[in-house]
Amino acid sequence: MECTVSWTGGLDTRSSMGFVAETGSGHVVMMDGAPDAAKPENGGRNLAPRPMELLLSGLGGCAAYDVVLILKRGRHQVEGCSVAIEAERAETDPKVFTRIHMQFTIRGKDIPASAAERAIAMSHDKYCSASQMLGKTATITTGLTLAESA
């Protein structure tokens, strides 16, 4: 797996903290910093997600992927899965994540809560690499909302 991250500041002097990531799979992701009113040259233009937001996005994508795959392999009729993530960071540098809560909403037909809870636990405990890495600094909790399809 590989990725190249390049600063865009050399191309656009108005965006001193913009970056573009080019992934080994051929995709591009933009990143930017928050504007800094006190020192505009140190801030971004708020044109893209922050790098730490992308870490949380990766966690959500990794876990949701696992949960859907586990439920589908169990022959459950999954029609939707989303993960709302809230996180807290340390107040001092490095401002690592210290607490992360992942609230899963799974929509489908006749999915037992026990099966959904088991899929979430398996993702967290065994399969999700992002969860394992972020769990080194953060307490990760999960919740579940099941929505029955018509």
What CA–CA distance (Å, rounded) separates 68 from 57? Answer: 16
What CA–CA distance (Å, rounded) separates 42 from 37? Answer: 9
User: Could you give the angle at the alpha carbon of 31 between the alpha carbons of 123 and 132, nearest 5°?
Assistant: 20
What CA–CA distance (Å, rounded) separates 6 from 23? Answer: 11
Its sign, for the CA torsion 22, 23, 28, 32, is negative
CATH topology for the 51-148 domain: GMP Synthetase; Chain A, domain 3 (3.30.300)
Query: Rounded to 5 degrees, what are φ and ψ at 22?
Result: -110, 115
For the chain, which residues make up each domain, given as ranges?
3-42, 51-148
β-pairing verdict for 28-31 and 19-23 = antiparallel
The tens place of each residue's pLDDT in the chain, 150 residues long, gives 999 999 987 655 655 789 999 999 999 999 999 988 888 778 888 999 999 999 999 999 999 999 999 999 999 999 999 999 999 999 999 999 999 999 999 999 999 999 999 999 999 999 999 999 999 999 999 999 999 987
